[in-house]
Amino acid sequence: MVSAAPRSHLSSHHQPLPTEYQTTDQGRAAAEAYYSNTSPATDTMASAKLTLQSTLPILNSPHTMPRLGFGIYRSPRDVCVASCLTALRSGYRHIDSAQFYQNESEMGEAVRKAGIPRNEVFLTTKILSAAGSVDKTYAKCANSVQLIDPGENGYVDLFLIHSPNSGAKNRKEMWLALERLHAEGKARAIGVSNFGKGHMEEMKAFATVWPPAANQIELHPWCQQREIVEYCNSHNIIVQAYCPLVRNLKAHDETLVGVAKKHDKPTGQVLIRYCLQKGWVPLPKSDTPERIVANADVYGFELDGEDMATLDSLDQGERGAIVEAVSNA
């Protein structure tokens, strides 16, 4: 079994988080407070420091991840560039694509059109299916890198396995291909999406890079996935939240609307702020320019302890998922 890199290889802020902070409630906010030698007394104290420029350290890496991302799930090619440009001009510095979305090249094109230096934007993509061998799967991933950041020195900041559902053999094939990409500098960090505890533990038998840098899962008040979130926190795996806006299906939920009215904010902003204060990295998606801008305007208010507890109480477990809750078997 191959474990994480020896502790001596880690910088001081990548040391394992003390057990008392490894809880779902404190999560990454407590981790940030611990790593910066500040008091992790409350979630809201840590979250008060959040800005659009806030980042999280990536385990075993000198690089960081912006706390807020912009999702482009199935964003049509003819509008994706415009949507990404709106996001970048609104201050987002983190965009999330995938091979399945068929808009990797549009994401890269938008960064070049925006004129923002490549190293100032965090770009993610994902592989959904293996190609039949590690070499073929590596080539498939390397092609994504070239679509996003053409040239000899092109890279992505994070490359994920999109889903564990293709089976153990294919999960291993995809991870070994990503490790090769990572070793060559074409992926600065590698991680997973929709992985449960069993999938994570399975990787130890063959992985050179473990734990994964991130696990992207469905997260919002109705689907909090506490077991896998706690597991990720205990291993310093960044938790990314897709569908943080629940695809607007809960915009009229009485409890959510009540919290939004208290702060005089749209429900979408409350949901994004909730994710941030939980220590997750939300990836709100929209192709409507006004909503893209509004979804980044979440730093002028805070949810207090009562608000967070109220939203926490909405959890429905697996029943609350609108896409997929992970399997922790």
Which residue in this structure is represented by tokens 């992505």?
156
Residues near 271 by beta carbon (within 8 Å), at least 6 away in sequence:
220, 221, 244, 245, 246, 250, 256, 282
- Which helix (H) or strand (E) is 108 found in, with range? helix 104-114
Please give the Cα distance from 74 to 79 (Å, whole number): 10
Nearest to 177 by CA among 196, 194, 156, 159: 159
Q: Which residues are catalytic?
A: 101, 162
Q: Do 162 and 126 touch, CB atoms closer than 8 A?
A: yes
Nearest CA among 178, 176, 172 for reference residue 158: 178
292 near 263, Cβ under 8 Å? Answer: no
Under DSSP, is residue 72 helix (H, G, I), strand (E, B) or coil?
Answer: coil
State the number of CA atoms in the 13 A half-sphere of 37 facing the CB: 2
